Amino acid sequence: MRYLYAAPSNSKSSDPENTTVPTVLLLHGVLGYSFSWRFTIPALSRQFRVFAPDMLGLGFSDRPPKLDVCMPAVASRVLQFMDLVGIDAAHIVGTSRGGAIAAVLGVKTPQRIIHLVLAAPVNPWSRHGMAQTSLLGSPPGAAVLRLVAPALRPFYGYFLERMYGDPRRIPSGTLAAYTQAIQIPGTLDHLLRVASCWRADLSYLEQIYTELSSIPTLLVWGDRDGAVLPQSARELQNRMANSKLVMLPGVGHLPYEESPQEFNDAVLEFLSAK
């Protein structure tokens, strides 16, 4: 699994296994990779050692065939990654599907999670896109997408714009960087397997979100999020007894890219709270 690592500027060691410094682990979403955190890593690495892996199947990590991509399996691989790089306990920051996987980690091994920061995490109270995801998770839907996928590349920019509250805030180079990773062979197969797990994953999440009361959790949402609907934020917060919600006005699904200063300030304040 490919990953980025940043050592704190005040640390005497750049060794990723320097466990004397508190750790933040960043988990990206369905079409993201470590690039997604390019504005977050410099801010957090002033105080923390920061790891940002590319999940298997995405970014510039390998794309193993027949990989189990359902959330419990992905969370287990994240735990293996933590063991491999020497992370005993960490603050976990996850976005979209990565936020949901962070929640799964909190249930699997709460003793290893100090704080959770969930940016618009996938949850069963946002039903937006369920019909499309169910279709893509079916054999006929997958077959159709395979046929039309080559013709979709000119529309990548449109899809990216829909992730922003204000498309004028898309940073230069963003579309090219995401396109480069999406075009790697095996990505489409991975995404179709994710779609095939979607209903089962949502059912699982409905059971576990209420089990996170022991972990202080920050929920961050943009009030123009068109992917994981902002209305679901309150539903989720009501089920998480130890959670706080920050709603960013005018922001879409990618607050760490669209409004990085506000996002980073909220995260740092939360992680630094006693």
Mean pLDDT of the chain: 93
The residue type at 165: G
Spelled out in words, what is the top-level CATH class assigned to the domain 3-272? alpha beta
Pairwise pLDDT comparison (173 vs 127), residue with the higher score: 173
> Domains of the chain: which residue ranges?
3-272
Of 71, 36, 69, 63, nearest to 52 by C-alpha is 36
Residue 18 is predicted with a pLDDT of 60
Structure tokens at 124: 């069963």
pTM recorded for the entire structure: 0.94
Residue 15 is predicted with a pLDDT of 61
Element (H, E) at 24: strand 23-27
List the single range of 59-68, 69-78, 125-134, 223-232 with lowest mean pLDDT.
125-134
Three-state secondary structure readout of 172-241 = CCHHHHHHHHHCCCCHHHHHHHHHHHHHHHHHHHHHHHHHCCCCCEEEEEECCCCCCCCHHHHHHHHHCC
4 has a pLDDT exceeding 70: yes
Judge contact between 77 and 25, C-beta under 8 A: no
- Token pair 């039903």 in the structure block, residue: 127
- C-alpha radius of gyration, the chain, whole number: 18
Question: Phi and psi at residue 117, in whole multiples of 5°?
Answer: -120, 115
Residue 10 is predicted with a pLDDT of 63
Which tens digits make up the pLDDT trace of 215-249? Answer: 999 999 999 999 999 999 999 999 999 999 999 99
Tell me how far apart the alpha carbons of residues 8 and 27 are, in angstroms, rounded to a whole number: 19
Residue 273 is predicted with a pLDDT of 81
Tell me how far apart the alpha carbons of residues 239 and 168 are, in angstroms, rounded to a whole number: 35
- Burial grade of 185 (CB within 10 A; 0-12, 13-18, 19 or more): exposed
- Token pair 């709603």 in the structure block, residue: 247
Q: 3-class SS at 262?
A: helix
Residue 14 is predicted with a pLDDT of 59
